[in-house]
Amino acid sequence: MSPGKLHFFYQFLKYPRMIGSITPSSIFLARAMVAPVHWDEADVIVELGAGTGVFTRLILQKKKNGSRVYIFEKNVQLRQQLIRQYPSFTHRENAEHLSSSLYEAGEEYADVILSGLPFTVFPKPLTRQITNEVYRSLKPGGQFITFQFS
């Protein structure tokens, strides 16, 4: 097992209701997730539950120059790793405060929100709160792309 996967597995064992999977998302899933994104129209890109950054790497490769990227990761160790790897992106802790975080950064809406959050393991009130935040934060006609394990 690679050091990154081992670290992710350890974080899952410590925080199973936050991490939601024993292994990080694969590059194949990440490619499928980002395929429908209209990159040429995406000025504000949000990733919820970035984990080890498999989607984040593709966002960096595919975003247009001048796009602003906001990465939300609640797990402290994973977030610190993402901050080191992607210092040009804005990093936040809590997807429950998505709309206020964007507002504070001077953004009206997100054009694209990609989510790796494990909604199926979250308490229902938390899932409801975050999905309401997505609804408030996504511009009309914007894209919300997510996946779930069950």
The per-residue pLDDT for 149 is 62
End-to-end Cα separation, the chain, in angstroms:
23
Q: What's the Cα-to-Cα distance from 84 to each of 30, 53, 81, 89, 113, rounded to whole Å?
A: 21, 11, 5, 10, 22
- What pTM was computed for the model? 0.83
Residue 16 has pLDDT above 60, yes or no: no
In the chain, % of residues over pLDDT 90? 66
The per-residue pLDDT for 147 is 80
Rounded CA separation 34/32 (Å): 6
Beta bridge partners of 112: 45, 143
The size of the chain, in residues, is 150
Rounded CA separation 130/123 (Å): 11
pLDDT mean over 124-129: 95
Helix 54-62 × helix 27-34 angle, to 10°: 40
Specify the higher pLDDT residue, 112 or 122.
Answer: 112
The per-residue pLDDT for 26 is 61
- Positions of E strands within 12-150: 44-48, 68-72, 90-92, 110-115, 138-146
Q: Retrieve residue 48's tokens.
A: 């919820």
Confidence of residue 122 (pLDDT cuts 50, 70, 90): confident
For residue 44, the number of C-alpha atoms closer than 13 Å in the C-beta half-sphere is 16
